[in-house]
Structures are given as structure tokens and as C-alpha cells.
Amino acid sequence: MTLYFKLLLFTIAFPLLASWDKRFNYFSKIKALFPAFLITGTFFLIWDIIFTKKGIWGFSTTHASNLRILDMPIEEWLFFFIIPYSCLFIYESVKYFFRLKKYNSLSQKILFVLGILLLISGIYFNDRAYTFWNFIFCGSFLIINSYKKRDYHANFFVAYIFSLIPFCIVNGILTDGDFDYLYSTNPVVWYNNFENLSIRIITIPIEDFFYCMLLLLMNITFYEKFRSKLSID
């Protein structure tokens, strides 16, 4: 079993076991979850395939499976279903334990301002492909999402903060690989530093934090749309 696959199992283990907890009834929401994962995952996989082809990032032959589709290991395809499943479990937990509706207006404003800052930064660093497209995609979606106040804005921010804990553990290992705190030795996922800002939180590129933000917000947005449409509590 590869290191990448072990990380995916670690990530989904608790959310999967707790999916039938009556407090959340998380698995009962699968009809809204799955289409959200599918739409968001399709966008990210297309982005992933293009960047892999261009050598902007790539995958270890030691720590990831040799079973590859379009040059990406099978774990990378699973990533866009397992990670959202786990992160939206955190989101549903936040909704259950916290009452944050009064902060939605503030959260809406923060989304808009952050979106503008990301767009400006993306345009400024247009010579670095990962930085440019990551900031443009994330900034644009934040601005579009902040067009009107939504019931999930504050919950999203708190869920994102909590998600950073497993994110830093999992992504820290993905960008390390040999557990030597060096991103250059044998990471599970490697990055071409000419295409990013070369700013790392230990081994994690700073861009990954906004990649995570976009992944979470897109999934929440589509999930809430389908949940409302299907009248799922």
C-alpha cells in the first residue's frame, strides 16, 4: 500500500465511521454530496491533468501507485472525492455545534475583499502558472460567491479553519514524503518552483492554502444548492 493511499485512508477513516452518527446524519445527505463532489472534482481534475502534463507539478513513483490515468496515480483521482467527503463532514459538524448566522454579513465582506486581493496578486504574479491560475480561480469564485449573503458563509470560514489541521498534516506529508522536512528529496507530490512563489510553510507551498479554500467553498456551494433543491435537512 502506497504512502499516498495510506494518507487517503487516514483522512476518510473518522468521517466515514461517524457518517451514521444521529447528530449529523451525514450519510443521509449523500444525494446532495455526490453531485457536489462530481462537479467540483471535474473542474479540479481537468486543472490537475493540464498542470501534470505541463510539468507544473507531478507525482512520486515511490510513494504513489503505478496505476496511472493520464499520468496521474489513482490516488490523485480518489483525492477529489475523499478529501471533500472529509471536509464537508467538518462543515456539517460546524453547523451542528456552532450558531454563526449573525456573522454571515461580515463573512460575505471578507470573501469579497479576499477575492479582490487574490485577483490582484494573481495578475501581478502572472509569470508563475500555479500562483496565477490558483489566485485567479480562487479570487473569482470568492467574489462571485460573495455577490449576496448566504447562510453558509460564516460556517464555511470556521470549517476552513478546522480543515487546516488535517490539511497541514496530510499535505505536509504529501509535500515531504521521506519525513525529513525537505520538499526536494522525495515528496509524494512535487512542485516546479519556477511556477509558484517558492514560499513554503515547512514543505507546503503557500498557494496550496488557497487551493484548499477553493476546493472547500466550491463543494459547499454546490452541496448547499443540491441540498436545498432536494429538500434534504
CB-based contact 92:209 (threshold 8 Å): no
Distance CA 192, CA 65 (A): 21
| pTM, full prediction | 0.94
**pLDDT per residue of the chain (233 residues) written in tens, 0 to 9:** 899 999 999 999 999 999 988 888 898 999 999 999 999 999 999 999 999 999 999 998 888 999 999 999 999 999 999 999 999 999 999 999 989 989 999 999 999 999 999 999 999 999 999 999 999 999 999 999 998 888 999 999 999 999 999 999 899 899 876 666 555 567 899 999 999 999 999 899 999 999 999 999 999 999 999 999 888 77
Distance CA 212, CA 227 (A): 22
Residue at grid coordinates 465582506: 109
